[in-house]
Structure formats: structure tokens, C-alpha cells
Amino acid sequence: MSDSHLSKTRGMEFLQRAFASEQSCLVAKLRSSDRIIHNGDRGDVNEQFFIEVLRNYLPNRYTVHKATILDSDGQASDSIDVVVHDRQYTPTLLDSESHRYVPAEAVYAVFECKPKIDKAYLEYAGKKAESVRRLKRTSVPIPHAGGSYPAKPHFEIIAGILAIEADWKDGFSTSFENCHAALTGSNRLNCGLAVDGHAFDIFNPGGGYTYCKSENALVFFLFRLLNQLQSLGTVPAIDWNAYASQLSK
């Protein structure tokens, strides 16, 4: 075996071990929160663990917060555990200590954090996704030196669920698919991660399932999410006059 082939093999083995170690560390952190008595406090701690992981992997054009989403008609979403949103062109609004208010136009993805993924939590996460996707999003032309680019069409906001484990004995398989398939339209979930070693998404053209069941499920999920975020491009240019008009009424 050549030195270059050995180097490539050892490099891949190192990456696999490193990513597996990161996954096991996250599992340990999430499970350690079981010592917290109150469910709400435990949930807040686990949300922050997931937020930190996403911040570490996503490029600087994205930011990640717990947030409520607002639109130019004055409507608001439910409180969303994890929101991936634009940090380059769109400011957050009315920020408090640890909670952000994000314009609907700035949102790329939303996630619900739960202790496990099962039928009830899938449905709950789907309702949270619907509360965001139903909001109005504006889009205006973008000026440039030679004129202006047309207003950008809106993409579908990615929605998913993040948890410690999957509730089904066979992980994400037939039983899971039967529950997931019931979530349609604005309630549809595009992806999910159970950090004990399971990930799924429906990012491929045609919406077929892609699964990962391994000690590298975390990084598989993150890389697939990164690829999907890249495919969305940049968020639309927000119509700030639409927001201002609500204040003048």
C-alpha cells in the first residue's frame, strides 16, 4: 500500500473518530441534564447545547438563537427552540437577555428540541413549524450599479426536530415513516437528529428518505443541513416600509 493511500486512510479514520467523539460528548452533556429537576429548566439547557453545536459548524452568514418570529402584519410564531437565521442583512428585533425576535424574512430553518423523537413530538414539532411558515414574508428588488435585481422568490423554511434518542426500536424506519408521512404542507418536517446515532432528512429531489444510523450521525446531519442551506442561497431583501407601516397606524 502506498504512503499516500495510507495517509488518506488514516486521515479518514481520524476524522471519523473525532466526529464520533464529538457526538458521544454531546450525548453525555444532554443526558447529564437529567439531574435538573424542572422540565423547563432541563429543556433550556438542552436547547443551548444544540444551539452551540450549530453555531460551531455553520458559516458566519448564519446565526442561531432561541427566538420568536414576527412578520410585517404584526403576527408572531410560537416560541421556537432553535432558529437559524440571517446575520448579514437582517437585524433581530426587540432582543431580550436570551431570546430574540426575528423577522420572518430572515429565517432559514427552525428546530424543536425534545428528549426523544416519537409520534407525539413529531406532531408537536410540525405545529411549531407551521406557526412559522404561515407568517407573511416580504421581498423587494435589490438595487445594484446597473439597475436592480428582481425580488427574490421565497424558499420553504427548513423545519426539523432535535433529540437525544429515537423512540422506535428500529430507529428511523417503517414505523417512523408512517408517523412522519402524516405531517404535510406547512407541518412537514424536513429533517431530524437523535444524537444517540440516528438521523433522517428528505432533502433529496423527490422527497425520499435519507438515513444515517451510526456513531457519526451528528456530523452527517450537520453536513446534509449545510448542503441544503447552501441550496437556498440568500434570504430575500426585506421590505422595511411594510414593518414601518404597522407603527404608523
| Catalytic residue selected from 22, 47, 81, 201 | 81
119 is catalytic: no
What is d(CA 162, CA 83) in angstroms, rounded to the nearest whole number?
12
Cell numbers 429537576: residue: 37
Going from the C-alpha of 53 to that of each of 79, 108, 185, 228, 249, the distances in angstroms are 20, 17, 29, 17, 42
For residue 245, what is its C-alpha cell? 407601516
What is d(CA 115, CA 118) in angstroms, rounded to the nearest whole number?
10
β-strands 158-166, 107-117 pairing: parallel
| Catalytic residue selected from 22, 47, 66, 114 | 114
Q: Please, which residues bridge with residue 134 across strands?
A: none
Q: Are 131 and 91 in contact (CB under 8 A)?
A: no
| Catalytic residue selected from 112, 118, 167, 196 | 112
81 is catalytic: yes
114 is catalytic: yes
| Active-site residue set | 81, 112, 114
